Structure 1
Amino acid sequence: MTIRLLLADGDPRFIERLTSILTVSTVTTCKIVSRTSAAEASAALKTKSFDVALLSYDIVTDDHFELFDFYGPTANRTAIIVLSDYPRKDWAFAALQKGAVDFIVKNRIDSFDLVKAIAYAMFRKCKEFELRISALRDPLTGIGNRNLFDEQAQTLLNQAKRGQERAAVLFMDVDGLKAINDTHGHALGDRLLNQVATRIVGQMRESDVVARIGGDEFVALLMHVNASNSISMIERKLNRAVVQTPYQINGIDIRIDISCGSAIYPDDSREISDLLQIADKRMYEKKSRKKARPPHHPVLYWSKS
């Protein structure tokens, strides 16, 4: 296993010492990148992926070290270990408050302690990452939940803004789920939702974000939307994928319908909350029109196979 490591300290001799310790260590292999200023360290963390970053306290408190303050180490999988010339408790507490995994005094570092600190930092960061991912996933379908959608949607809209591109928010609601739950039970309804989620995700690209935000509600953010009429095509394609083929669960063929509304960035709004509200409103308008259909045009049925 090779560990990607960033060493950032204003003293080149100290960097050389740590590099020497890690190079001769037989416990692990490190790919080391070194930086001597806060601006260089911040740029390295923004552009490259590291498992562990050993950063001097002077660097993480420097005005040019933006990443630590604005994003925080929990925004990625890099474990931060802060190094200091002095064993000050207030500095250690401040570093840990900002998200550092450990605080080490430089003149007390030896080979064993350094390797142990790196191993512990990686283990703790990995567990933290696993917990964070589980907290952002819908336990029923395995796709993202509302928290993950909100987090990723804002990032993607910022990308669309920089690229001067359109993006689209879709708000989807499964029609008739309550009737299925009442007739066949919630266990079958949950399996149905799981399959619906799979079909929705299957119609999306890797650059899109899909999440389940309620019992029968799903949302998606689509990037690189070239024209408004393409959204209508996407909605029709999504509707065909979710609706046309029956769902087979416990020997029962189930047909459902789905209502979908959309909103375009930046045409309808530049705020994700407004886009969701607009898409939600348009979805309910479509659902209302479906309810006004004559009785001989059902949108849902189930039968024994």
Structure 2
Amino acid sequence: MTIRFLIADRDPACIQRLTSILTDSTDTYCKIVSRTSAAEASAALKSKCYDVALLAYDFVTDPRFELFDFHGPTTNRTAIIILSDSPRKDWAFAALQKGAQDFIVKDTIDSFGLIKAVTYAMFLKCKEFELRVSALRDPLTGIGNRNLFDEQAATLLNQAKRGQEKAAILFMDVDGLKAVNDTHGHALGDRLLNQVATRIVGQMRESDVVARVGGDEFVAMLTHINTPNSITLIEHKLNHAVSQTPYRIDGIDIQIGMSCGSAIYPDDSQEISDLIQIADKRMYEKKARKKATPSPSPVLYWSKS
């Protein structure tokens, strides 16, 4: 096991002392990177992932240090320990309030104290990350929820802007879920939704993001949209995957449908919220056209023989 450390302090002697304690007091291999300015420390945290960052308090309050809010996505897996020259309670409170796991005074650091602080900070960060992941997942299907989608979609949109590429939002709604719930109960309907989510995810690339955002509603964001027909083809694949093969649950084969609407960045809008609304509206327009067209029920049942 390797623990990756970032030590950032203006005093090279402090960095050397902390490095010696970490390397001499544990059997775990420590990979240590050091920085002696706020700008360098900020750049280091942005460019690489560290398990633990020991940061001088005057660095993280420096205007050139851009990551003082440690709840942000760049440092959400890095345990933060603030190093201070003074045992000021207001400094400690400010650091912890911003998301740091510990605050230690440099003059009081010894081998036991530093190792204890590092161990506890990593434990707290691990638990925080587990809770965060749990809060961003749909408990029924295991895929992302709306909060996670918003975070990931914002990141993908920024990438598309920088690369001057097209991206797309897909809004999907399961046709016939209410009939399933009314006939067979919500427990079976939930299992059906779980299988629907699996099929949707199976049609996505690793670079795409998908989430469940409502009872029978899913949303996805796709990047690297090369041609105008790409979205049409993807919608067709999704409809085929979700609707073509019946779902077998408790000896019952269930056939459902799906309605899907899309919106393209930057053609339809440059804002995520607008793109979702446009895709949602187009999905409901398609659903309304289906209802207006006489056809067999989208949900069929076959009892187990």
**TM-score, length of structure 2 as denominator length:** 0.97
Q: CA deviation at 1:70?
A: 8.2
Distance 2:92 2:222 in 1: 43
Moved over 3 A (4+): 69-75
Q: CA deviation at 1:195?
A: 0.1
Q: Which amino acid aligns with 1:163?
A: G
Q: CA deviation at 1:73?
A: 7.2
Q: Which residue of 1 aligns with 2:233?
A: 233
Q: Which residue of 2 aligns with 1:302?
A: 301
Question: Is the counterpart of residue 109 in structure 1 residue 109 in structure 2?
Answer: yes
Distance 1:194 1:304 in 2: 21
Q: Which amino acid aligns with 1:299?
A: P
Aligned residues: 304
Q: Which residue of 2 aligns with 1:85?
A: 85
Distance 1:87 1:27 in 2: 30
Deviations 1:210-241 (A, max 9, x none): 00000000000001111221100000011111
Indicate the SS of the match to 1:299: coil
> Is contact 1:144-1:210 (8 Å) kept?
yes
Distance 1:117 1:98 in 2: 18
Q: CA deviation at 1:28?
A: 2.9
Q: Which residue of 2 aligns with 1:97?
A: 97
Distance 1:292 1:110 in 2: 75
Deviations 1:118-144 (A, max 9, x none): 000000000000000000000000000
Q: CA deviation at 1:153?
A: 0.7
Indicate the SS of the match to 1:68: coil
Q: Which residue of 2 aligns with 1:224?
A: 224
Q: Which amino acid aligns with 2:238?
A: L
Distance 2:118 2:254 in 1: 53
Q: CA deviation at 1:254?
A: 0.4
> Is contact 2:9-2:37 (8 Å) kept?
yes
Indicate the SS of the match to 2:204: coil
Taking structure 1 as reference, are residues 73 and 181 closer, same or farther at Cα in structure 2, changes over 3 Å only?
A: closer
Taking structure 1 as reference, are residues 212 and 73 closer, same or farther at Cα in structure 2, changes over 3 Å only?
A: closer
Taking structure 1 as reference, are residues 96 and 281 closer, same or farther at Cα in structure 2, changes over 3 Å only?
A: same
Deviations 1:150-199 (A, max 9, x none): 11111110110001000000000000100100000101000000000000
Q: Which residue of 2 aligns with 1:262?
A: 262
Within a 5 Å distance, the mapping from 1:128-139 to structure 2 comes to 128-139=128-139
Q: CA deviation at 1:94?
A: 1.1
Distance 1:213 1:13 in 2: 52
> Is contact 1:6-1:34 (8 Å) kept?
yes
Within a 5 Å distance, the mapping from 1:243-254 to structure 2 comes to 243-254=243-254
Taking structure 1 as reference, are residues 72 and 254 closer, same or farther at Cα in structure 2, changes over 3 Å only?
A: closer
Within a 5 Å distance, the mapping from 1:1-305 to structure 2 comes to 1-69=1-69, 72=72, 75-295=75-295, 297-305=296-304
Distance 1:30 1:149 in 2: 35
Which segment is superposed worse, 131-140 or 16-25?
16-25
> Is contact 1:73-1:100 (8 Å) kept?
no
Q: Which amino acid aligns with 1:298?
A: S
Q: CA deviation at 1:298?
A: 2.9
Q: CA deviation at 1:69?
A: 4.0
Q: Which runs of 5+ in 1 are unaligned?
A: none
Indicate the SS of the match to 1:7: strand
> Is contact 1:73-1:80 (8 Å) kept?
no
**TM-score, length of structure 1 as denominator length:** 0.97
